[in-house]
Structure 1
Amino acid sequence: MAMLYQAIWKKEEDDFFERIQRHADYEGFLGIVAYSDTNECVGFAYGYKSEKGQYYRELLEKEFTSDEIEMWLSDCFEFVELAVHPSYRKNGFGRKMADKLVNNSHRKTSILTTQVSNLAAQTLYTSLGWVVVKENFIPSPTDELYVIMGKVLKGDSFDE
């Protein structure tokens, strides 16, 4: 998984190892890995229950009104990462992993962020029932613009 992460995003593996080890200790952590017919890791996805005090949760709360916090974050699965090797994209791996992951989270909603420029990801998520909750989100001063997307996983949909 770390090699796949590094190959896709050109980031150091150590960063990924440290991050996923920390996230794996969070309540409600779920992960899924996709393999090719030759048993090669071709994709993975993971997330966890969103709780007060978590770094990303705090960033999201700064963007939301109190009603939006209640609506989207009160019983939320943070969909943290979805990666599919470029050679295996458009084969349904991302769709299957995303659906299986959030549907097994047992939360009311799920939230994710992706770059505004990543139209392929936004198209995938929109086709899976995700909606744009906020545009032009900047997680840190060195980041590009992101979009915050949400999905209702159970119960009635929200009035927007």
Structure 2
Amino acid sequence: MRLPGHGHGHRPRPDDIVIGPLDLSTHVDEALAVQALAFGLGPDEVAVRRQIVLRHMTYLGARALGATTAAGRLIGFVYGMPNDRTHWWSTVVEPYLRALGHEAWLDDSFVITELHVHPAYQNKGIGRALITAITDTATQPRSILSAIDVDSPARGLYRSLGYEDLARQVVFPSAPRPYAVMGAPLPLRRR
């Protein structure tokens, strides 16, 4: 999938962005460099997340998409997998969802594990293109994710795609801020 540059007319420009499959295990350091900029991570956090990403990519059904410039620079990525109640994330959010009657969302859903776009490329539709492209290939009838529980551009994007809050003020061990768990039926809403 190609996202056109923002120039005049419809001619491709060198800064055109291409969305396509990403071998995240091979490109983990490039992806985490994007995440570090987008999410404000330090070197210690990146090192921990590197191991998590590499482990996640061994899970059944895990897949990733990248957004690259015409020059091949990775400027955004998304990855996810079918939810498994035995995975750490699911065990943390389950009590919050159960308390609100939303526990069933953990079954037969596709989890968006990470979605990040380089700050210089945000607000250009890249995040929307990444998340819709990956969920369009999901066989599950719904998608779930977690996002920092504040009004943010990310939360606005998720709401515009049909995600609704399932639980708020979800506390992950070692996370400095609470998260919201959001869910949406698939396919995601289009503009």
Name the TM-score, length of structure 1 as normaliser.
Answer: 0.87
Give the one of 149, 171, 191 matched to 1:116: 149
Which of 28, 51, 54 aligns to 1:18? It is: 51
Q: Distance in 2 between matches of 1:116 and 1:32?
A: 25
- SS of alignment partner, residue 51 of structure 1: coil
Residue aligning to 1:102 = 135
Q: CA deviation at 1:141?
A: 5.5
Q: Tell me how far apart the structure 2 counterparts of residues 109 and 73 of structure 1 sit (CA, whole Å).
A: 10
* DSSP 3-state at the match of 2:102: helix
Deviations along 1:8-66, one digit per CA (max 9) or x if unpaired, are: 33233322321111001112101100012332111000011111211001011111228
Describe the SS at the equivalent of 1:45: strand
Q: Indicate which of 161, 172, 178 corresponds to 1:139.
A: 172
Please, which runs of 5 or more residues in structure 2 have no aligned partner? 1-30
Q: Residues 34 and 43 of structure 1 are in contact (CA less than 8 Å); yes or no, is this contact kept in structure 2? A: yes
What SS is found at the alignment partner of 1:65?
A: helix
Larger radius of gyration, structure 1 or 2? 2
Asked if structure 2 preserves the Cα contact closer than 8 Å seen for 1:26 and 1:49, the reply is: no
Q: Aligned to 1:5, which of 16, 35, 42?
A: 35
Correspondence for 1:41 among 67, 74, 89: 74
- Is the CA contact (8 Å cut-off) linking 2:166 and 2:182 kept in structure 1? yes
Alignment of 1:144-155 (within 5 A): 144-153=177-186
TM-score by length of 2: 0.74
Q: Which residue of 2 aligns with 1:157?
A: none
Structure 1 residue 68 and structure 2 residue 102: aligned? Answer: yes
1:90 correspondence with 2:154: no
From the superposition, tell whether residues 31 and 141 of structure 1 become closer, same or farther in structure 2 (CA, over 3 Å).
closer
**Structure 1 unaligned runs (5+)?**
155-160
Give the CA RMSD over aligned residues. Answer: 1.7
Q: Give the letter aligned to residue 6 of structure 1.
A: A
Task: Give the AA of the match of 1:7.
Answer: L
Report the count of equivalent residues: 153
Say whether the 8 Å CA contact 1:5–1:11 is kept in structure 2.
Answer: no
Residues 85 and 106, structure 2, Cα contact 8 Å, conserved in 1: no
Identity within the alignment, %:
24
Question: Which AA in structure 1 matches 2:35?
Answer: Y
Instruction: Return the alpha-carbon distance in structure 2 between the equivalents of residues 14 and 84 of structure 1.
Output: 19
Pick closer, same or farther for the CA change 1:47–1:11 going to 2, 3 Å.
farther
Change (3 A) 1:142 1:87: closer
